[in-house]
């Protein structure tokens, strides 16, 4: 099962290497990872998506918690959460296909950010399924070039994933 | 306002941590630090290899319970500490290793003697630091000692660039540590402790299985109290040896691959395991599917990651072992396990730990027994790794914590001699023996120079069978006696080596000379190498073949 894990860490060099090293050292793959500063500039939030059974995920969370630079770990999968990712997709097109592509992009609430003679570039944010869905459709028009940000996620309502009550 | 250089802050901070000894070797970028040490009361023990320095610091830490400290240079010096760090990491030993680093503006430029040691050691340290500013140094050193010695202890590395050591800055002593991501849980959950007590009280065939965590937490006294009050038999892992007195009636010896038959049968048949400060290493459990199939498991450990990592646990209790046992003891009662103890006595009588002695040749087990008797079981024993280590574990009856120092998790050959140096410095009141093999002693034999220079009366007992013995044993049993690369026929003359270093060397070929040689070594105020020519193809038994359950042992029957 896929788990979305939110990790609050000290915003300093080497932290990402420690986190990714935990996974690579065990031969686990990280499906997606995104990092950015939070409302507190000394703290960064990492959103990780990993696959694994309960025992593996339990170990992943415990091992993350064990790192000195990790302030708090939350497995968002257990509760309600909102997630989103950003994708930039470049699609080959010509005069005949352009409008058809634009219609699809519109349905998916994407935004055309660049139009060239032989291609269109779309910016799309949303769930992983949303991004996957538009990619499946657009593949009809030729080979796509895709850049994805990796998932970011936040828990719904009042559930606290901030670090003020320690882990 | 006190202005100091980084090197002076380093010295001042170490004095505040009550550091006695620093093990290490100087080099280009740490000259300013060694210069500051020159006038300080800190004693530098110059080893001959940085691996020796880390193992010596580790041996010092295991023997004393304090933090062991190393100081080495950048690049090759730093890289040479890797094995020592990994050893300490696997066995949860508190050491702080300071490595020199090229000046900060040159980091990442492939400067002379540069290595990314923080990157290299990330997976084998509890934590590590690169000091980028002299202002941070006092705080980082304070944090390093705190992290190394609290919670589940472990090695911490501090990388110290040369410019940080020479920069003058305001010195502000740091006395408190607050790290928001590091708050070890020590107390143990009250409800879980109650649940554990209920399970213990209801059990008929329970076993206590204790590990190195008992020694690290200083919980040996509580462990004895718990066992005596409940009448539960106790088995300890290799690193737990000394955590429960080996001469106690309830002691079962070590379990696992080279465990006693009665410990392995007890774990296989029991209805409850009370695991304390241990991590269910594969060398203990054997085939995990067949491990303790009838048992519920209570697991007390300060490190949550150790719990349910290898075996499923019914009652997890996270916290300090001494603390939790002290809370558990008032809740337990004498268990109704008379039949179980009778069964264990029968196993002990039927399958004692034994070997076939001989008058024609020296059996390695006999040598260990004689060391035990000559030192009345009160020595500190370090070991190398392999057959020598297992024979030491079997035939020396460890009575007290911190008397058996051995590389368990990593299995580091070359550990014993430098560890003996650290142990002897930390415990000058103790007789120290390194029980070694002829293969592993050659991995750090240069540290004899360190022992001689510091006039440390350590004793090295080489059980010399001219083989890499444990691998040979596996080749004999599982590879049709094809002794591929395990024969050491061109060993040096260890007596002459000892003499060349200024130590004393003795070669012992006859059984009758074993005890007198040991007695003489103990009396000698210098390092001594005892080269025992032992039976060449003696095996360590009992043995659980790889992949088998621990009840499926071979050999070692009387």
* Minimum distance, in Å, between the CA of residue B255 and any CA atom of chain A: 26
- Topology of the domain covering A2-79: Alpha-Beta Plaits (3.30.70)
CATH architecture of structural domain B2-171: 3-Layer(aba) Sandwich (3.40)
What is the predicted pLDDT for the residue at B188? 94
b/e code B61-75 from CB counts within 10 Å (16+ = b): bbbbbbbbbbbbbbb
How sure is the predictor about B506, in pLDDT bands with cuts at 50, 70 and 90? very high
A72 CB burial (10 A radius; 0-12, 13-18, 19+): buried
B123·A25 Cβ contact <8 A: yes
A150 and B CB contact within 8 Å: no
DSSP B277: S
Token pair recorded at residue B15: 């004095």
- Topology of the domain covering B190-350: Rossmann fold (3.40.50)
> Do B544 and B264 touch, CB atoms closer than 8 A?
yes
A9 and B CB contact within 8 Å: yes
Q: CB-side exposure of B164: number of CA atoms within 13 Å?
A: 25
Mean pLDDT in residue range B234-260: 97
Residues of A in Cβ contact (< 8 Å) with B182: 68
Mean pLDDT of chain B: 97
ipTM: 0.90
* Minimum distance, in Å, between the CA of residue B121 and any CA atom of chain A: 11
What is the predicted pLDDT for the residue at B30? 98
Q: Which of B508, B531, B374, B507 is nearest to B441 (CA)?
A: B531
What is the predicted pLDDT for the residue at A158? 64
What is the predicted pLDDT for the residue at A166? 42
The tens digit of pLDDT for each residue in B269-288 reads: 999 999 999 999 999 999 99
A148: left (phi over 0), alpha (psi -120 to 50) or beta: beta
| Distant-in-sequence, close-in-space partners of B293: CB < 8 Å, separation ≥ 6 | B268
The tens digit of pLDDT for each residue in B128-143 reads: 999 999 999 999 999 9
For helices B261-269 and B338-350, give the axis angle rounded to 10 degrees. 150
DSSP B102-163: --GGGTTS--TT---HHHHTGGGSSEEEE---GGGHHHHHHHHHHHHHSSS---EEEEEEHH
Q: Which residue of B has its CA nearest to A165?
A: B180
Determine how β-strand B432-437 pairs with β-strand B459-464.
parallel
What is the predicted pLDDT for the residue at A128? 87
How sure is the predictor about A78, in pLDDT bands with cuts at 50, 70 and 90? confident
What is the C-alpha to C-alpha distance for residues B364 and B461, in angstroms, rounded to an integer?
Answer: 10
How sure is the predictor about B84, in pLDDT bands with cuts at 50, 70 and 90? very high
Of A63, A69, A70, the CB nearest to B305: A63
> Do B286 and B218 touch, CB atoms closer than 8 A?
no
Mean pLDDT in residue range A89-99: 94
Q: CB-side exposure of B31: number of CA atoms within 13 Å?
A: 5
Beta pairing partners, A147? A88
pLDDT at A162 over 70: no
What is the predicted pLDDT for the residue at A79? 87
What is the predicted pLDDT for the residue at B348? 97
> Do B334 and B341 touch, CB atoms closer than 8 A?
no
> Do A144 and A88 touch, CB atoms closer than 8 A?
no
What is the C-alpha to C-alpha distance for residues B468 and B451, in angstroms, rounded to an integer?
Answer: 25
Hey, is B513 helix, strand or coil? helix
3-class SS letters over B226-265: HHHHHCCCEEECHHHCCCCCCCCCCECCCCCCCCCHHHHH
Q: Where in chain B is the domain with CATH 3.40.50.1220?
A: 190-350
Q: Which residue of A has its CA nearest to B179?
A: A68
What is the predicted pLDDT for the residue at B557? 87
B181·A66 Cβ contact <8 A: no
DSSP B81: T
What is the predicted pLDDT for the residue at B189? 96
B34 CB burial (10 A radius; 0-12, 13-18, 19+): buried
pLDDT at B457 over 50: yes
Q: Where in chain B is the domain with CATH 3.40.50.970?
A: 2-171, 364-533
- Superfamily holding A82-155: ACT-like. Chain A, domain 2 (3.30.70.1150)
Q: Which residue reads 């001469």 in tokens?
A: B247
The whole-model pTM stands at 0.96
Mean pLDDT in residue range B171-184: 95
> Do A71 and A44 touch, CB atoms closer than 8 A?
no
Of the two residues A167 and B306, the one the predictor is more confident about is B306
Kindly tell me the number of DSSP H helices and DSSP E strands found in chain B: 22, 19
pLDDT at B126 over 80: yes
Residues of A in Cβ contact (< 8 Å) with B119: 17
Of A17, A58, A67, the CB nearest to B181: A67
pLDDT at A161 over 80: no
Q: Do domains A2-79 and A82-155 have the same CATH topology?
A: yes
pLDDT at A163 over 70: no
How sure is the predictor about A167, in pLDDT bands with cuts at 50, 70 and 90? very low
Residues B439, B442, B443: CA angle, nearest 5 degrees: 100
The tens digit of pLDDT for each residue in B422-451 reads: 999 999 999 999 999 999 999 999 999 999
Q: Which residue of A has its CA nearest to B127?
A: A68
A62·B127 Cβ contact <8 A: no
* Minimum distance, in Å, between the CA of residue B7 and any CA atom of chain A: 24
Q: Give me the residue spans of the domains in chain A.
A: 2-79, 82-155
Token pair recorded at residue B497: 């080596």
User: Which one of A26, A27, A68, A166 would you mutate to disrupt binding with B, by most B Cβ within 10 Å of its Cβ?
Assistant: A68
| Distant-in-sequence, close-in-space partners of B68: CB < 8 Å, separation ≥ 6 | B23, B56, B57, B58, B59, B60, B61, B93, B94, B95, B96, B422
Residues of A in Cβ contact (< 8 Å) with B303: 66
- Topology of the domain covering B364-533: Rossmann fold (3.40.50)
A70·B181 Cβ contact <8 A: yes
The tens digit of pLDDT for each residue in B516-526 reads: 999 999 999 99
pLDDT at A164 over 60: no
Mean pLDDT in residue range B334-360: 97
**Residues of B annotated as part of the active site:** 50, 112-113, 162, 470
């Amino acid at each position: 099962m896929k788990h979305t894990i939110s990790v609050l860490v000290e915003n300093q060099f080497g932290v990402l290497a420690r986190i990714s090293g935990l996974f690579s050292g065990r031969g686990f793959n990280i499906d997606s990872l995104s990092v950015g500063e939070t409302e507190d500039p000394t703290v960064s939030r990492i959103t990780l998506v990993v696959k694994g059974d309960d025992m593996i995920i339990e170990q992943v969370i415990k091992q993350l918690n064990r790192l000195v630079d990790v302030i708090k770990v939350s497995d968002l999968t257990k509760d309600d959460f909102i997630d989103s990712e950003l994708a930039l997709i470049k699609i080959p097109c010509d005069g005949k296909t352009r409008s058809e592509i634009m219609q699809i992009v519109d349905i998916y609430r994407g935004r055309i950010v660049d139009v060239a003679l032989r291609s269109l570039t779309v910016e799309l944010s949303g769930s992983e399924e949303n991004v996957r869905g538009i990619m499946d459709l657009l593949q009809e028009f030729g080979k796509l070039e895709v850049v994805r940000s990796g998932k970011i996620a936040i828990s719904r309502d009042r559930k606290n994933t901030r670090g003020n009550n320690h882990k | 306002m006190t202005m100091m250089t980084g090197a002076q802050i380093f010295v001042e901070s170490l004095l505040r941590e009550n550091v006695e000894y620093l093990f290490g070797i100087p080099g280009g970028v740490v000259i300013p630090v060694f210069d500051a040490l020159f006038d300080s009361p800190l004693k530098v023990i110059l080893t001959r290899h940085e691996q020796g320095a880390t193992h010596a610091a580790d041996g010092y830490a295991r023997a004393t319970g304090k933090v062991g400290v190393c100081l080495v240079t950048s690049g090759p010096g730093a890289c040479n500490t890797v094995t020592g760090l990994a050893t300490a990491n696997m066995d949860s030993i508190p050491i702080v290793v300071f490595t020199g680093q090229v000046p900060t503006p040159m980091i990442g430029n492939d400067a002379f003697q540069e290595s990314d040691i923080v990157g290299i050691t990330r997976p084998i340290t509890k934590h590590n630091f690169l000091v980028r500013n002299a202002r941070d140094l006092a705080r980082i050193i304070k944090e390093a000692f705190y992290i190394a010695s609290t919670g589940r202890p472990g090695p911490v590395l501090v990388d110290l660039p040369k410019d940080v050591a020479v920069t003058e800055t305001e010195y502000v002593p740091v006395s408190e540590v607050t790290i928001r991501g590091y708050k070890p849980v020590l107390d143990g959950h009250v409800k879980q402790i109650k649940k554990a007590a209920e399970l213990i009280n209801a059990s008929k065939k329970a076993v206590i299985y204790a590990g190195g965590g008992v020694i690290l937490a200083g919980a040996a006294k509580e462990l004895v109290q718990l066992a005596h009050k409940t009448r539960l038999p106790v088995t300890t892992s290799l690193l737990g040896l000394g955590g429960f007195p080996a001469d106690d009636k309830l002691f079962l010896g070590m379990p696992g691959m080279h465990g006693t038959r009665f410990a392995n049968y007890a774990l296989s048949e029991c209805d409850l395991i009370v695991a304390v400060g241990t991590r269910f290493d594969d060398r203990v459990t054997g085939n995990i599917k067949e491990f303790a199939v009838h048992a519920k498991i209570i697991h007390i450990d300060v490190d949550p990651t150790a719990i349910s990592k290898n075996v499923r646990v019914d009652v997890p209790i996270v916290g300090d072992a001494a603390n939790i046992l002290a809370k558990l003891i008032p809740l337990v009662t004498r268990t109704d396990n008379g039949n179980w103890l009778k069964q264990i006595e029968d196993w002990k009588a039927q399958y004692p730990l034994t070997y076939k002695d001989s008058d024609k040749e020296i059996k390695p087990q006999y040598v260990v027994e004689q060391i035990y008797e000559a030192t009345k079981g009160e020595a500190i024993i370090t070991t190398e790794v392999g057959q020598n280590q297992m024979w030491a574990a079997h035939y020396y009856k460890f009575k007290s914590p911190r008397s058996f120092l051995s590389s368990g998790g990593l299995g580091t050959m070359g550990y014993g001699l430098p560890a003996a140096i650290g142990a002897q410095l930390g415990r000058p009141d103790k007789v120290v023996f390194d029980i070694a093999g002829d293969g592993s002693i050659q991995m750090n034999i240069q540290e004899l120079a360190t022992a001689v220079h510091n006039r440390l009366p350590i004793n090295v007992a080489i059980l010399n069978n001219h083989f890499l013995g444990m691998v040979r044993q596996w080749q004999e049993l599982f590879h049709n006696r094809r002794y591929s690369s395990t024969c050491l026929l061109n060993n040096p003359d260890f007596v002459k080596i000892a003499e060349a270093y200024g130590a004393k060397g003795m070669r012992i070929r006859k059984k009758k000379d074993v005890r007198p040689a040991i007695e003489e070594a103990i009396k000698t105020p210098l390092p001594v190498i005892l080269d025992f020519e032992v039976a060449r193809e003696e095996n360590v038994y009992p043995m659980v073949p790889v992949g088998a359950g621990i009840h499926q042992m071979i050999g070692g029957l009387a």
